C-alpha cells in the first residue's frame, strides 16, 4: 500500500507523481490533499487525466485493489480498515480533514512493513508524524525533494525530523516505487508504538462523538484548542490533543495563534475607529466647553492609539519589525 499526501503546491506534485507510476506496480495508492471541507471534489478527475491508472474519489467501504488510486474527498479522513477504504469525520488534525498524519498512521497500522508513505509539497508539518508511524511499523518513507517542491516546508520538515528514507523529485516517485516493489527487505524493524492504536481509534471516531481516549494521552499543556477552546494535552513531543480529539503539532498551533491574534487586532481596530468617531461627534455637538474639551481629548487619544495599531498591523503584513518590537 502506498499513501501519498500534500498541501500547497500538491496538485502539481501529485499529478507529476501519478503520471510516472509504472503500469505494473503491484500497489494500491491512497492520495490526500489539504482542501477546505466545502470545496468541490475534483482532485480525482485531475489525477485520472494524468495517469494510466484509474483514479477515483474514495467511497467508504471500497475494496483496495492494486493499480488503482483512491483520492480523498473534502471533509473526510482517508483511512484503511480490513483492507478497505474507510472515510471518517473524526476530529481534525492541525485544522485539516483529510489529514495526512491520520492517513499515514492508518496505513502503518493496517499494512506494517508493506506500507509506503510519500509526502509532497506543502507548508507546515502535517504528515511528518505519520511518516514516523510508518517507519515504526517497518514501512518505508519517501518525500519530494525540497528543491523540486513549489512549497518546500513540508518535505523539509520531514527530512529535518529524520523520518525519510528516500527523497526524489515528484516525477521520479513512480520509478522509485517500482524499485521498492522488487526489494526483498523493507529495511526497518517494527518497534512498539503505544500511541498508534489510540491515535488511529480517534481518527476513526465520529467527529461529534465522545473521545474516550482523550484522557489517556498526557498531562495538560496549558494551551487551548483553536478548534473548540478545550484544554490541550501533551500527546507527544510538540504534539497536542484536546479532550474531544482535535490534534495539533506545535507549528500548526503557532500558525493558528497567528490567525487568532490577527483577528483580535482587527476587532480592536474596529472598536477604536468607532470610539474615535463617537468622541469626535460628541465634541462637535457639545454646548459646554468643558465637555467639548473632554470629548476632544478622548478623540485625540483614540486617534493616536489607532495610528499605532494600524502601523503595527501594516508592519506585520509586510514582514517588518517596528523599533520598539
3-state secondary structure of 37: coil
Which single residue is written with the C-alpha cell 494535552?
233
The answer to whether the CB of 132 falls within 8 A of the CB of 163 is yes
- For 68, the grid coordinates are 488503482
- Annotated catalytic sites, by residue? 7, 34, 126
DSSP state, residue 153? H
284 contacts: CB under 8 Å, gap ≥ 6 = 292
Which single residue is written with the C-alpha cell 501519498?
4
In angstroms, how far apart are the furthest CA atoms of the chain? 92
Residues comprising the chain, all counted: 325
Burial status of residue 134 (CB atoms within 10 A of its CB: 0-12, 13-18, 19 or more): buried
Beta-sheet strand order (sheet of 247-249): 220-224, 231-236, 239-242, 247-249
123 contacts: CB under 8 Å, gap ≥ 6 = 7, 8, 151, 153, 154
The answer to whether the CB of 123 falls within 8 A of the CB of 154 is yes
Residue 98: asked if its preceding bond is cis (omega within 30°), the reply is: yes
Amino acid at each position: 500500500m502506498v499513501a501519498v499526501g500534500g498541501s500547497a503546491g500538491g496538485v502539481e506534485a501529485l499529478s507529476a507523481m501519478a503520471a510516472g507510476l509504472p503500469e505494473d506496480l503491484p500497489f494500491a495508492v491512497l492520495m490526500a490533499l489539504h482542501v477546505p471541507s466545502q470545496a468541490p471534489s475534483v482532485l480525482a478527475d485531475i489525477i485520472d487525466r494524468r495517469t494510466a491508472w484509474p483514479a477515483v474519489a474514495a467511497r467508504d467501504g471500497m475494496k483496495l485493489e492494486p493499480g488503482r488510486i483512491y483520492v480523498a474527498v473534502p471533509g473526510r479522513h482517508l483511512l484503511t480498515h480490513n483492507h478497505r477504504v474507510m472515510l471518517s469525520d473524526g476530529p481534525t488534525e492541525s485544522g485539516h480533514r483529510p489529514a495526512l498524519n491520520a492517513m499515514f498512521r492508518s496505513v502503518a497500522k493496517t499494512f506494517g512493513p508493506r506500507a509506503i508513505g510519500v509526502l509532497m509539497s506543502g507548508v507546515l508539518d502535517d504528515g511528518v508524524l505519520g511518516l514516523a508511524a510508518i517507519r515504526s511499523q517497518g514501512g518505508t518513507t519517501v518525500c519530494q525533494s525540497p528543491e523540486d517542491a513549489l512549497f518546500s516546508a513540508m518535505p523539509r520538515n520531514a527530512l529535518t525530523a529524520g523520518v525519510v528514507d528516500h527523497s526524489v523529485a515528484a516525477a521520479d516517485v513512480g520509478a522509485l516505487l517500482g524499485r521498492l516493489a522488487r526489494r526483498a527487505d523493507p529495511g526497518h524493524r517494527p518497534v512498539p508504538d503505544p500511541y498508534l492504536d489510540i491515535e488511529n481509534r480517534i481518527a476513526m471516531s465520529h467527529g461529534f462523538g465522545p473521545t474516550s481516549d482523550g484522557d489517556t494521552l498526557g498531562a495538560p499543556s496549558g494551551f487551548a484548542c483553536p478548534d473548540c477552546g478545550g484544554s490541550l494535552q501533551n500527546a507527544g513531543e510538540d504534539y497536542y490533543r484536546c479532550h474531544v480529539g482535535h490534534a495539533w503539532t506545535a507549528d500548526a498551533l503557532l500558525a493558528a495563534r497567528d490567525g487568532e491574534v490577527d483577528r483580535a487586532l482587527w476587532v480592536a481596530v474596529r472598536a477604536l475607529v468607532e470610539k474615535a468617531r463617537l468622541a469626535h461627534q460628541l465634541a462637535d455637538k457639545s454646548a459646554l466647553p468643558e465637555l467639548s474639551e473632554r470629548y476632544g481629548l478622548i478623540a485625540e487619544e483614540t486617534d493616536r492609539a489607532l495610528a499605532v495599531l494600524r502601523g503595527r498591523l501594516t508592519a506585520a503584513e509586510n514582514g517588518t519589525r517596528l523599533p520598539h518590537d
